[in-house]
Amino acid sequence: MIPTSYPPAEEIARLTARMLLEIGAVNFRPQEPFTLASGLPSPTYIDCRKLISHPRIRATLMDFLTVTVMRNAGFEAFDNIAGGETAGIPFAALVAERMALPMTYVRKKPKGYGRNARIEGDMSEGQRVLLVEDLTTDGGSKLSFVDAIRKTGASCAHTAVIFYYDIFPETEKTLGDHGVSLHHLCTWWDVLAEAKAQAAFDSQTLREVEDFLNDPRAWQDARR
């Protein structure tokens, strides 16, 4: 069923942050920083994969994501919903179900045998494809998925995520220069505001996280 009436974006962001905190998807650990895929330290870590195990929250957030995309991009803007391997696959399937559209997924690299394909499922020339993922940090990982979609002759001008870091200023430019618009439900700023409202972490932890969000590169450089 396609959702048509939901809260404004600000309330969606607050509720999404609340749900992520409720299921323990938000991790703040400034004293023992996490190591990101880039090798750099971070006092924050978000695990959106946990959402698939919480049906009520999962269903609500997928309604939110669907209505956000339709509000921003249009109600008849897409012909195919593609998930990025692996975290984006379940969310793409749930969005595709709500929008009554075909679902496909994009491999990170060709599987190396058989058709050696990166696109699984039926995607055809001329289709307008929405790329769905769990989150984005600097936007770079999305470009490979978008390029694989475009190689089929389909177009991909939009990507939708549950969580957007919103702390690296180059992110939306990186995507925009590639002809891709980003749609998201909440950011670290939304999560920090809700964590403060709930007193979900001690005040020192929240201060450290806020310092990181305000200048992540400086925070990381000081801890290399």
Domains of the chain: 9-221 (3.40.50.2020)
Strands 41-42 and 34-35, bridge-based pairing: antiparallel
Better-predicted residue by pLDDT, 163 or 40: 163
Q: Which residues of 38-59 are buried (b: 16+ CB within 10 A; e: fewer)?
A: eebbbbbebbbeebeeeeebbe
Look at residue 62 in the predicted model and tell me its pLDDT. 97
pLDDT tens per residue, range 126-160: 999 999 999 998 888 899 999 999 999 999 999 99
Residue 54 in tokens: 């919480």
- Average pLDDT on 2-26 reads 92
Total-model pTM:
0.94
- Average pLDDT on 45-52 reads 97
